[in-house]
């Protein structure tokens, strides 16, 4: 079977360990095992774990703890997986037949778009668009493109909420529009909610769970919980659908890793979960204002909409360079890795991850700034930057 190249993942795989500054991460700074288990588990308990197979759908205690993140769910609604990427993969493999069409949100993490084309027959995109009204700007559901994308052949509607790369969260009205359309054509909704829990406000974004009987939620510990290395994700679905998807997982990785299952059980215990999300909340709120100061320094070039959730933000740029060339030149000439619009189904945008060490991120962005200024200088044009950008350029850190 031929597959499309998953451009963003491929290029991250190739380059993320070679650059001085990797600004392409989308989660918060990973936590250590010590920090995770402190006060809640004995290190010896972890060290003496037998390296056997874990229960293949996830241990009962893990599934119980995960279920408490979704009102009304029980362990029977949960299937553990190796990352939310595997959860997306097996769900779409199990649900789609040739001839089925998928309505897929764009911009996005393009995995689900690619899987729709290969397990079904096509991915019809609908868009989030920049909406500016009453002095406020947000990424909003483009209802016209959504209504076009959902037809009687649509078997699955994919939503990524909170969204990657914009950090946008759908309003209740937009969620209702999506549910109504799914009901009308009898389609499933697959809601990838891996950024839920990383809201700047500290209030959990609404989930699609419980809004309709054919909803499948995908999530995991990689982003809002700061544990991408555990490779622990899950699917929340009606019990019969969990059973069906589980039988597809028998053909992939069989079981979660036993150590990850144990650590994820600790992480998803409601008290601990609250602590972990409070940590995320404080990282996001500490870092974003400093990043925004850098962005404001290039106010004439960047158009920016504040993210609602996720340790990522996406800015539109107006510069005489294609996103692909910007991506390559930043990597090769400045040793900085970012993702750019086309990685997410967008045009002249860059996505900046701000959940890691922000001093380091700003050092990387200083290089991006130097590149921008060089580009702007061009043959005749004069560089025009504000004081904040000049401060970053000379290495003086702006006040948080």
Ligand X SMILES: Cc1ncc(COP(=O)(O)O)c(C=O)c1O
- Per CB under 6 A, residues contacting ligand X are 26, 83-85, 109, 160, 164, 192, 194, 220, 222, 228, 233
| Cβ contacts of 241-244, under 8 Å, gap ≥ 24 | 241/94, 241/216, 242/57, 242/76, 242/77, 242/78, 242/79, 244/94
CB of 160 to ligand X, least distance (A): 5
CB of 212 to ligand X, least distance (A): 20
CB of 109 or CB of 126, closer to ligand X:
109
CB of 317 to ligand X, least distance (A): 22
CB of 58 to ligand X, least distance (A): 14
Q: How many CA atoms lie within 13 A of 318 on its CB side?
A: 6
Q: Which residues, other chains included, contact 383 with Cβ-Cβ below 8 Å and sequence gap of 6+?
A: 373, 376, 377
Q: Which residues, other chains included, contact 10 with Cβ-Cβ below 8 Å and sequence gap of 6+?
A: none
CB of 120 or CB of 220, closer to ligand X:
220
- Cα dist from 166 to 8, 132, 247, 274, 332, whole Å: 15, 15, 34, 25, 26
The first and second tokens of residue 56, run together, are 């293949």
Nearest to 267 by CA among 239, 295, 227: 227
Nearest to 265 by CA among 311, 234, 294: 234
Please give the Cα distance from 117 to 392 (Å, whole number): 44
Q: Answer for the pair 294, 389: CB distance below 8 angstroms, yes or no.
A: yes
CB of 26 or CB of 154, closer to ligand X:
26
CB of 65 or CB of 351, closer to ligand X:
351
Alpha carbon distance, N-terminus to C-terminus of the chain? 51
The DSSP annotation for 1-35 comes to ------HHHHHHHHHTTTSSEE----S--PPPHHH
CB of 251 or CB of 380, closer to ligand X:
251
Q: Cβ of 229: how many Cβ atoms within 10 Å? A: 12
CB of 226 or CB of 364, closer to ligand X:
226
CB of 83 to ligand X, least distance (A): 3
CB of 81 to ligand X, least distance (A): 8
CB of 149 or CB of 227, closer to ligand X:
227
Please give the Cα distance from 233 to 239 (Å, whole number): 17
CB of 233 or CB of 323, closer to ligand X:
233
CB of 83 or CB of 120, closer to ligand X:
83
CB of 82 to ligand X, least distance (A): 8
CB of 387 to ligand X, least distance (A): 35
- Cα dist from 216 to 87, 91, 187, 235, whole Å: 10, 8, 11, 7
Q: Which residue is nearest to ligand X (CB)?
A: 83
CB of 194 to ligand X, least distance (A): 5
Beta partners for residue 303, in sequence order: 316
């Amino acid at each position: 079977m031929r597959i499309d190249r998953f451009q963003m993942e491929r290029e991250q795989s190739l380059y993320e360990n070679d650059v001085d500054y990797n600004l392409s991460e989308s989660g918060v700074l990973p936590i250590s095992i010590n920090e995770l288990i402190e006060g809640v588990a004995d290190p010896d308990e972890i060290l003496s774990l037998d390296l056997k197979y874990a229960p293949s759908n996830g241990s009962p205690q893990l599934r119980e703890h995960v279920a408490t993140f979704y009102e009304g769910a029980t362990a029977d609604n949960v299937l553990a997986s190796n990352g939310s990427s595997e959860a997306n993969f097996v769900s779409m493999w199990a649900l789609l037949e040739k001839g089925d069409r998928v309505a897929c949100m764009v911009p996005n993490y393009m995995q689900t778009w690619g899987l729709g084309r290969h397990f079904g027959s096509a991915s019809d995109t609908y868009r989030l668009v920049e909406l500016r009204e009453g002095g406020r700007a947000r990424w909003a559901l483009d209802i016209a493109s959504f209504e076009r994308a959902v037809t009687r052949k649509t078997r699955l509607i994919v939503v990524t909420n909170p969204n990657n790369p914009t950090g946008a969260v759908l309003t209740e009205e937009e969620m209702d529009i999506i549910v109504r359309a799914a009901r009308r054509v009898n389609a499933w909704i697959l809601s990838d909610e891996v950024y839920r829990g990383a809201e700047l406000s500290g209030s959990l974004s609404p989930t699609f769970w419980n809004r309709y009987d054919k909803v499948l939620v995908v999530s995991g510990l990689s982003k809002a919980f700061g544990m991408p290395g555990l490779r622990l994700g899950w699917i929340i679905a009606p019990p019969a659908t969990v059973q069906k998807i589980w039988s597809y997982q028998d053909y992939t990785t069989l079981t979660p890793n036993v150590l990850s299952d144990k650590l994820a059980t600790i992480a998803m215990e409601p008290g601990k979960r609250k602590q972990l999300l409070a940590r995320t909340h404080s990282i996001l709120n500490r870092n974003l204002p400093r990043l925004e100061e850098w962005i404001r320094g290039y106010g004439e070039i960047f158009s920016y909409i504040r993210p609602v959730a996720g340790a990522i933000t996406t800015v539109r740029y107006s510069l005489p360079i294609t996103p692909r060339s910007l991506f390559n030149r930043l990597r090769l000439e400045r040793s900085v890795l970012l993702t750019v619009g086309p990685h997410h189904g967008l045009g002249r945008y860059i996505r900046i991850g701000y959940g890691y060490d922000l001093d380091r991120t700003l050092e990387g962005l200083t290089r991006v700034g130097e590149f921008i200024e060089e580009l702007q200088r061009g043959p005749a044009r004069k560089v025009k930057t504000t004081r904040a950008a000049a401060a970053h350029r000379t290495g003086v850190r702006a006040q948080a």
